[in-house]
Amino acid sequence: MGAEQPEVTVEYLESWEDHGAMWRAVEISDELVVVELCSCFGEPVDMVQSAAPELIEFVRAHREQRS
């Protein structure tokens, strides 16, 4: 059995950033968001996904702020 992924929430991504790491959207649609979790140096650590509407909206807004 593999380790279970934590539930990805807005709070989870904010906590990830609060600890000095970063994340980036790999795929985003109205139904699903795929996020790459990266170390503080930008190296990929994990990839997570969610269909939660509030997370999709957060990632979409966050991505637009970075542009």
User: How does pLDDT run along the chain (67 residues), one tens digit per residue?
Assistant: 445 566 899 999 999 999 999 999 999 999 999 999 999 999 999 999 999 999 999 999 987 666 4
Asked, for residue 3, whether it belongs to a domain, the answer is: no
For residue 2, tell me if it sits in a domain: no
Domain presence at residue 5: no
Q: Could you give the number of structural domains in the chain?
A: 1
Is 41 a domain residue? yes
Q: Does some domain include residue 31? A: yes
- Kindly state whether residue 4 falls inside one of the protein's structural domains: no
Residues linked to residue 28 through DSSP beta bridges, in sequence order = 33
pTM over 0.75: yes
DSSP characters over the chain: -PPPPPPP-HHHHHHHHHTT-EEEEEEE-SS-EEEEEE-TTS-EEEEEEE--HHHHHHHHHHHHHH-
Torsions phi, psi for 36 (to 5 deg): -95, 120
Q: Domain for residue 54, yes or no? A: yes
For residue 38, the enclosing domain spans 10-62
Residue 57: exposed, middle, or buried by beta-carbon count in 10 A (0-12, 13-18, 19+)? middle
Indicate whether 40 belongs to any domain: yes
